[in-house]
Every structure is written in C-alpha cells, then in structure tokens.
Chain A
Amino acid sequence: MLPALSSIARGLRRAGHPAVTLRVAAFYSGDAAATATTTPAAAPKPNVVPDEYYNLEKATPDTLNVFYLESTDPFLNLATEEWLFRSLDVTKTRVLMFYQNRPCIVVGRNQNLWTELNPRRLAHLNGLPGREPIALVRRRSGGGSVFHDLGNTNWSLVSHRTIFDKAETANIIAGALNRLDVVDGASTSARQDVLVGGDKVSGAAYSIIRDRALHHATMLLSADLNMLRGTLSGEAELNITSRGVKSVSSPVRNLRVPAKDQPGELVALQAMDFSKAVVEELRAFFEPKDVVFTHMPEATMRIIPDVIKNYEELRSWDWFHGQNPNFEQAIRADVGGWELSLRLKSERGLIVGIEIESCSAPPLPVEHPISQEALLIRLHGFCEALTGQRYNEAHGVASRHLERFGSGADASGAFSLGRALQEAIVDRYFVPIGLPGDAP
C-alpha cells in the first residue's frame, strides 16, 4: 500500500467505527488497486524522514497523490481537505486536491465578518427570486475573503513544511495555465498571486501545522464576478474598529482559452482541463515516481469520522463566530434630542461590555420629550441586556428588550423611547449574521 493510503487506513483504524472503517477501507483499496502499482499491504512504517527527501536536487518524492473531492458542499470539502492535510504522511508524498463549491463566501481564519463582508447586501441578494443562497464559511487558513461558485475551482497542495515554497507553487500554477494557452498569459506577482494581464485569477492562502504546510487557492474559470462586487467589503457606517486580517481587493477576471474544435474561438477554461494541466506541471517539476488519482465520492467523505468532526466544527458557532477577532463599535445616535455616544466591545464573538460615553444636549435648546435621567436609566438596562450575549444575535436580543419598554407606568413615553432606540441604534448598528451555512 502506498504511504498516503496506509496512513489514511491507520487514521481510520485509530478512529474506531469498524463498520465505517470497512466501507471506507474497501473504497480506498479498490481505488489503489485500480490506479497504482500494487504492492502487498505492509504494516504502517514509522514516521521516519529520509534525509535526502528534503533536497530536491538529489531526490524526488515517491508519489504525487491527487484527490478529486466530489462534493459541492464547501464545509464538507474543507473538512475533507483538513483531514487529508493532517493525516497523510507528507514525508514521502505530495498531496494535490481539487474541489468545487456551490455559492459561498469563504473568509480567512482571522477575519472579522462585519468588516470584511456586507451582510445586508448578502441578505438582499439571497432574497432575490431564483438565486441559490450564498453560504458563509470561515476557513482554517489565513488571508482574505473569496467568493466561490461552480464557475470556480479550488486546488490545494500539501507538502512538508521545510520544502513549502509559496513562490514555487504559484509559478507551477502559472506554468499550468500557460500550458493551456490562457489568453494574455499567466505570471506571478511579488505577493505570489497568479495574474493574467494584470488581473488576479487565483486567491491563495496557507495553513501550517507541525511538520506540514497547505497551500490552497481559488481559480476563476467562469465565476459570477458580479457577486464579488459589493459583498466582499464591509459597511463603513457600522463604525467597527477591529483587530484581525483585512482583505486586499484586486481586479479579477475569468480564464479564457482557445476552443479545441473551433479555431479562433475563445471559451471558458474547464475545471478538469485545469486540474490535468496542474498535474502535468507538477509531474514535470517534481518528477514523482508515481501519480495516484483518487476520486472521493461525497458519500464516502460523509462517513469518515475525522471529516465528520471537522465538518461539525466548521459549522459551529464556536468556530464561525467565536473566532471573530476582538473589535469595538462606536455607536452615535440621536435619541429624543439627546446625542448619545456608546462604545461596544466584543471578544470571541460575545458582547463583553457597552459603555455609555456621553449623553449630551445639542447646542440649541430643544424641548426633550424624555428626561435625560429617564433615558440613562433605560439605556443602562439596554446595555446590561446586551452584555454577555452573542454579538451576531444583538439585533434580536436588543429588539426583544425594547419591545418590553411599553409596559411600565410611563408607558407612552417609554414606548416612544423604545422606538427611537430601535431605529437609531439597533436597526442601524446591529446586523445579524446567522450560523455558518445559513443564508444571511
């Protein structure tokens, strides 16, 4: 058995679940027999690193393992990618993966959802008839936000940390595009972006764990580029100052290639043609002894215990919202003639405090329908109700709190105060974002 496949089998044995293990193991051994030079199954080798492997001039890796993930569920594909990334023995192999996702926006591990996305615009788009909702995903790797749909394909290369070379991999991808004669030719930038005619066609990110590195990226084939516009930039009027990684926006384009059967015609690059060219380029560059192709059906991905675990984690509040970088929101509002200034602090997805910075009268004397004292009392209650709550649920929590304002002795005054706070603060500053996978 090849090192990569034996290490998968080892991982599955460790994970238990005999029934599941058997079915998956049967899938792998069948595939290995069909595509690879078969050797008798041996006991898994200890993880010993051959010194010569790290010097590519002297030695080449044994095998290039190519996986096609046959799902369009972004969470399942990322969960499977992570499982392969973590479990394969990368001392003897390089692992290449390809997958395509249904419409989704994927943010970097350390990005603030409210400053990098435009949830109101997304909600508007998702409400349009006949449009497939766009899912939101937080990935494990760093970098900025990207939009995926079936007009985009994703590639991913896993290698040992010590041979991980962003620039080299970007050059290989550009080389693969030039093999396909893409219009205007591909090159790489100083930021290791793959460019065609000055436009970005691929957005890359990296993840490093222990002894290994993952380099994955999008590749624009026939993606709906209009979707990128207006959804991947935050709303400045939310007044959020955040830690975290900011996206760098670039002009983008889809890849065009000469049509095979119609000379002079240009067509969109196909995902399978792209993947074949990448394999050829990698084969030429690393000269692996063997290339093993594995098509992984969605049904198989869904029963692998580690994939299930990764999948559930990616879809959890703790990951998607709990990893949102800490931020502050400066809230300015005019309520009943009073100028209010509040400062909200969020940590790990929760509201940890709201401070009333000032509540002052405007320069010109006006008749206040609400006394400053009554306003401050109500406002303290409002801030208390929000503290400790999930920031993404602030709109709902605050609205429910304000709905109860009408029930006191000063019912009519409190009611109008509640309405004023709803409009000036809640509806303006709190934009809900649901759980990952929900349409915003």
Chain B
Amino acid sequence: MLTAATNMLRRSAMQNGQIAARMFSTSRLFTEDHEWVTVDKESKIATVGITDYAASLLGDLVYIELPAVGADLARQDSAGAIESVKASSEVYSPVTGKIVEVNDSLTDSSNMALINEKPFSDGWMFKIQMSDDSELAGMMSEDKYRDYVESTK
C-alpha cells in the first residue's frame, strides 16, 4: 500500500519536470532583470526564465526569440527578446556559459502564453552550462526578490 503510493508519487514526479528538477537543483535565484535561475548541482547547468512579475507587466506575448544552442554568452549578454503588443523587452543571460538547450515549444505562437501562465515551470526559456559558479552569489533569494519588486512599486 505504502509502496504503491510512493511509486505513484515517484511517477508523478517523473512526469512533472519541475518536481524532478527541484530534487537536484539549487533553490530558485532571481536577478534585478526580473529573471530566475535554478542550477543543477551536478551538471552546473542553469535553467533560466522570466519571473511572474515581469510576465504580468508585459501582458500577452506576440514574439519570443531564444538564443542559439551552442552560443557562448557572457553574463548580461543579450540572450533573446520578448515582444508583447508593440513592446519589446530584452532577455539577458544571468550567467556566463554555453547555451545547451532552449525551450523551442515557446516559439509556437499557441504556446507563448506558457510564459504568462507557468513562468516558473513550462515557461522556462533556456539552459546554459555555467562556467563560473561565483556569479550566483550576487543573485537574490525569492524573499529578497519579492522585497525588491515591492521596493520598486
């Protein structure tokens, strides 16, 4: 009985990338550019997206440009763009490294809403192989980020 329940939980965790990722990743970190980062502790691959706050300010999206897989980016380099109706917003790489994967499903216009609806899970934008762990030190915890958002309101 107990085993069955555990297995069920495990299965559901496997089906839900977010839960699976959480088990091995750092807690979510945030930047002043309203982006979030989680890092897989073993591979040092950072997953990056924009925050719910940034998504809500932009509103409905009409275009998403993602970086090229294989691109070498320095911290703060442009890593793409997001456009809502007539408003373009730059996406920056929060860390230095090589792009190893992008969330191609977002570029399909029917999926763009994922950025607004699930910014912290299915709305992830790209994964980057970090070359310098120390860059994480300057980022904010979720609590600090919420304070930061409040302070700029």
A residues near B (Cβ < 8 Å) are 49, 51, 54, 108-110, 140-144, 160-162, 166, 191, 204-211, 213, 243-245, 323, 325, 347-348
Contacts and interface: CB of A to CB of B under 8 A. Distances in A.
A306 to B, nearest CB: 15
A421 B34 CA distance: 51
Name the residue among B84, B88, B89 with the largest chain A CB count within 10 angstroms: B88
A51 B152 CA distance: 8
Interface string B28-47: 00001110000000000000
B137 interface: no
Nearest to A347: B68
B61 to A, nearest CB: 10
A143 B151 contact: no
Name the residue among B86, B107, B152, B153 with the largest chain A CB count within 10 angstroms: B86
Contacts of B83: 108-110, 142, 245
Contact of B90 (A209, A325, A348): A209
Contact of A209 (B57, B84, B89, B151): B89
7 contacts: A51-B151, A108-B88, A110-B88, A141-B87, A142-B63, A210-B33, A245-B63
Given A109-B81, A110-B81, A245-B83, A208 B89 contact: yes
Given A160-B152, A208-B57, 9 more contacts: A54-B153, A110-B65, A205-B88, A206-B88, A207-B87, A210-B34, A245-B63, A245-B83, A348-B68
Given A49-B152, A109-B83, A207 B33 contact: no
Contacts of B107: 243
B62 interface: yes
B58 interface: yes
Contacts of B85: 142, 191
A207 B82 CA distance: 10
Nearest to B57: A161
Contacts of A141: 86-88
B84 A142 contact: yes
A49 B151 contact: yes
Nearest to A142: B88
Nearest to A140: B88
Interface string B48-74: 000000000110001101001000000
A85 B13 CA distance: 45
A162 B88 contact: no
A110 B152 contact: no
B18 to A, nearest CB: 27
Contacts of A108: 83, 86, 88
Contacts, number: 73
A116 to B, nearest CB: 13
B125 to A, nearest CB: 15
B87 A243 contact: no
Contacts of A347: 68
Given A142-B83, A162-B153, A348-B68, A207 B57 contact: no
B75 to A, nearest CB: 14
A92 to B, nearest CB: 14
Contacts of B68: 347-348
B85 to A, nearest CB: 8
B88 A109 contact: yes
Contact of B88 (A191, A207, A348): A207
Contacts of A143: 86-88
B79 to A, nearest CB: 13
Contacts of B65: 110, 323, 325
Contacts of A210: 32-34
Contacts of B90: 209
A106 to B, nearest CB: 13
A191 B85 CA distance: 9
A208 B152 contact: no
| In the A-B complex, the 7 residue pairs with the closest CB atoms | A142-B88, A206-B87, A143-B86, A142-B83, A208-B89, A110-B63, A109-B88
Nearest to B65: A110
A56 to B, nearest CB: 13
B119 to A, nearest CB: 16
Nearest to A191: B85
A166 B87 CA distance: 10
A244 B65 CA distance: 9
B92 to A, nearest CB: 9
A211 B54 CA distance: 10
B88 A208 contact: yes
Contact of B63 (A206, A213, A325, A348): A325
A49 B63 CA distance: 32
A211 B34 CA distance: 9
A51 B150 CA distance: 10
Nearest to B150: A51
Nearest to B109: A243
A342 B84 CA distance: 33
Contacts of B62: 142, 245
Nearest to A207: B88
A435 to B, nearest CB: 20
B152 A205 contact: no
B87 A162 contact: no
